[in-house]
Amino acid sequence: MSTTESATSVAPARIASTTERGMDRDEVAVLGLPLGPESLTWRYFGDARGVLLAERAGVLQNMHPVISQALVDQSDFFANPLGRIIRSAGPIVGVVYDEPSRGTGHEVRDFHKGIKGTDVHGRRYRALDPEAYFWAHATFFEGQLATQRLLGTPISPQAEERMYRESITWWARYGMSLRPVPRTHAAFKRYWDEMLDDVLEATPVARYGVRTMAHVPSPWPVVPKALWAGARPAVARVAPWIGRVTLPPRAQELLGIRTTAADRLTLQVLATGIRTAWPALPSALRRQPRALVADQRAGVRF
């Protein structure tokens, strides 16, 4: 077989239906809603409980074949998975909470410039593929809803609609193509289901993310070795377990995850404990660090 024939035999990457997706730049002001201290996204994205579901969001992102391959080729994910998550989290939170004039969204986007290659199916990929990049954004939006549903107070349908419109403005801050963006929250929910059914895969990175980690280096070099040695066993077991038991059922199915009655009971007990204790915690502990700084700058408290 010739090289040309071999290349043309590679199946194209799958994407969700483009129906009800895409908008012009000037439509963002109409379909989106402002971000800022009065927005629901400001309230919920900085909720520190979201950190407990970081593994869940990461696994969902890494089930996208483009994101998975980019991590394999260009990242130290396998050597230091927690370090990679922590390095990424701050700037992503900053897209919502930093002053828009700072251009944090463009900075995050530009981190991915030049990341490209060929995936395991022989398909060319690039990290700034709008479809893959939007999927990562989608997991951050959906993660806010999942955090409150699982560990807080479920968000009403009306509030979800408002938050989705805010997420359109959030996405626009990256300066990426608006082609992948569902135009309404209802369209987003259809897009989400299509991604789970037709696009996501049990990639090597996703499978790695849901298994108990045998060797987990400290994510911060400044953490004393003795302290990390004591914390590491719990981190190595608990973070992947939370990721496994909180994934959407379709994602669990793709990854071959079977939760038990004991898993579900343990999650229920954990969630009840968090909901009960949360109001008594100091407000500084209830917020992610970058969100807390922005709260103080804006003179708001959650």
Percentage above 90 pLDDT, the chain: 66
79 confidence band (pLDDT: 50, 70, 90)? low
Task: Compute the distance between CA of residue 120 and CA of residue 38 in angstroms, rounded to an integer.
Answer: 45
Q: What is the pLDDT of residue 13?
A: 58
Q: What is the pLDDT of residue 6?
A: 35
Structure tokens at 176: 């990426």
Q: What is the span of the domain harbouring residue 204?
A: 14-279
Q: What is the pLDDT of residue 275?
A: 95
pLDDT at residue 84 is higher than 70 = no
Q: What is the pLDDT of residue 302?
A: 92
Q: What is the pLDDT of residue 8?
A: 36
Bridge partners of 125, per DSSP, are: 117
Structure tokens at 175: 């300066």
**Tens digit of each residue's pLDDT (9 = 90 or more) over 263-294:** 999 999 999 999 999 999 998 999 999 999 99
Q: What is the mean pLDDT of residues 93-101?
A: 93
Average pLDDT taken over every residue of the chain: 87
In a domain, 99, yes or no: yes
pTM of the model: 0.88
Q: What is the pLDDT of residue 70?
A: 87
Total domains in the chain come to 1
In a domain, 300, yes or no: no
CB-based contact 134:66 (threshold 8 Å): no
In a domain, 295, yes or no: no
Please report the DSSP string for the chain in residue order: --HHHHHHTSPPPP----TTB---GGGHHHHS---STTSHHHHHHTBGGGGGGHHHHHHHHHTSHHHHHHHHHH--TTT-HHHHHHHHHHHHHHHHHS-GGG-HHHHHHHHTTT-EEE-TTS-EEETT-HHHHHHHHHHHHHHHHHHHHHHS-PPPHHHHHHHHHHHHHHHHTTT--STT-BSSHHHHHHHHHHIIIII----HHHHHHTSPPS----SSTTS-HHHHHHHHHHHHHHHHHHHHHHS-HHHHHHHT----HHHHHHHHHHHHHHHHHGGGS-GGGGB-HHHHHHHHHHT---
215 exposed, middle or buried (CB, 10 Å; 0-12, 13-18, 19+)? exposed
In a domain, 46, yes or no: yes
pLDDT at residue 96 is higher than 90 = yes
In a domain, 289, yes or no: no
Question: What's phi and psi for 296, nearest 5 deg?
Answer: -65, -40
Q: What is the pLDDT of residue 209?
A: 83
Q: What is the pLDDT of residue 2?
A: 35
In a domain, 217, yes or no: yes
In a domain, 8, yes or no: no
In a domain, 297, yes or no: no
Residue 256 CB-half CA count within 13 A: 7
